[in-house]
Chain A
Amino acid sequence: MFQFDSFDAFLAMAGHGPYVWAAYGVSLTIMAWLALSPLRRQRALLGELRRRLQTQRPRGES
């Protein structure tokens, strides 16, 4: 059952709103960054490798 009378009451959390929302907001942002940053680094690594392979190939074949 929904614990609050209205959406505004949900946001306010009877005065504890800033604490609760700050805790959830910061934590979930850090977690999203934790999951996304290795993916970004992998893409950068593979992209860099691919570029290097493409520039090396013509020299190797000639």
Chain B
Amino acid sequence: MWQWFHKLGSPRWFYHLSSKFLPWLALASVVLIVTGVVWGLAFAPQDARQGNSFRIIYIHVPASFLALAGYYVMAAAGAVGMIWKIKLADMVMVAAAPLGAALTFIALFTGAIWGKPTWGTYWIWDARITSMLVLLFLYIGIIALSRSFSTRETSARACAILALVGTVNIPIIYKSVDWWYTLHQPATIKLTGAPSMHPDMFKPLLVMILGFYCFYALVLLLNTRTEILQRERRTTWVKELAAGK
């Protein structure tokens, strides 16, 4: 068990193991997302009230899911790195920040575009939207912080602490539509109970969510591998890798 734990913390081992998963993750993300996009844009029935603008849901909801889940991934990696001093965990945290920021931006951007035909405005300072904007700033803060220290250890600890403090925002985002009167509609999908959506509309959404999870895993691995190469560039195995290609 401990041996396995130590192996998992070895960047070299992680780099070689992840090479085996990458092609499958890439294939799964492309197939699922292309299927979901075509299904959602052309074959799902249009919404009775919102018409075709509702099709934005197939990007908006999966991106929002992963923006939030990605924050947990980043904070958990930061905590693991800080408690057990595992360098790989710190690399995962740094790799998760720009990915999470991009997904949060996509969620906000598609939400704004969807808001125009539906609510008549691109932006409103409503609880859900404002707390998502705070999430974007948290991600950006961690990216900035990770680049502003000269020593890796200080930078890793500062980022981990900011990431952990920032997790209070996540339940606020989830609950904002229940706690405050918001323009944003309540959750479409809940873990408890059936989705408030017709199956013909829901199936492509499920495909997109699965596709986004695969895509998230793929980009997180790619970013972590880049971080590993960058930080381990003076080691023999990376030099061998560079020379062998």
Q: Is the CB of A35 within 8 A of B117?
A: no
Secondary structure of the A contact surface, majority rule: helix
Name A1-40 residues within 8 Å CB distance of B. Answer: 1-4, 10, 13-17, 19-20, 22-24, 26-28, 30-31, 34-35, 38-39
A residues less than 8 Å from B41 (CB atoms)? 10, 20, 24
| CB-based contact B37/A28 at 8 Å | yes
Residues from chain B with a CB closer than 8 A to the CB of A2 are: 42-43
With a cutoff of 8 Å between Cβ atoms, the chain A residues found around residue B110 in the complex are 23, 26-27
**A53 close to B242 (CB less than 8 A):** yes
Chain B residues within 8 Å of chain A by Cβ, number: 44
We find that the number of chain A residues with CB closer than 8 angstroms to chain B is 32
Total number of A-B contacts with CB less than 8 angstroms? 105
Fill in one digit per residue for B182-213: 1 if any A CB lies within 8 Å of its CB, else 0. 00000000000000000000000000000000
| CB within 8 Å for A24 and B59 given contacts A49-B239, A53-B243 | yes
Which B residues touch A24, using CB under 8 A? 37, 41, 56, 59
Within 8 A of A (CB), among B194-245: 215, 218-219, 222-223, 225-226, 229-230, 233, 238-239, 241-243, 245
> Within 8 Å CB of B226, what residues of A?
38, 41-42, 45
B33-66, CB < 8 A from A: 33, 37, 41-46, 51-53, 55-56, 59-60, 63
Chain A: which residue is nearest B221 at the CB level?
A38
Interface residues of A (CB under 8 A from B): 1-4, 10, 13-17, 19-20, 22-24, 26-28, 30-31, 34-35, 38-39, 41-42, 45-47, 49-50, 53
Interface of B is mostly: helix
Q: Which residues of B contact A (CB under 8 A)?
A: 26, 33, 37, 41-46, 51-53, 55-56, 59-60, 63, 98-99, 102, 105-106, 109-110, 113-114, 116-117, 215, 218-219, 222-223, 225-226, 229-230, 233, 238-239, 241-243, 245
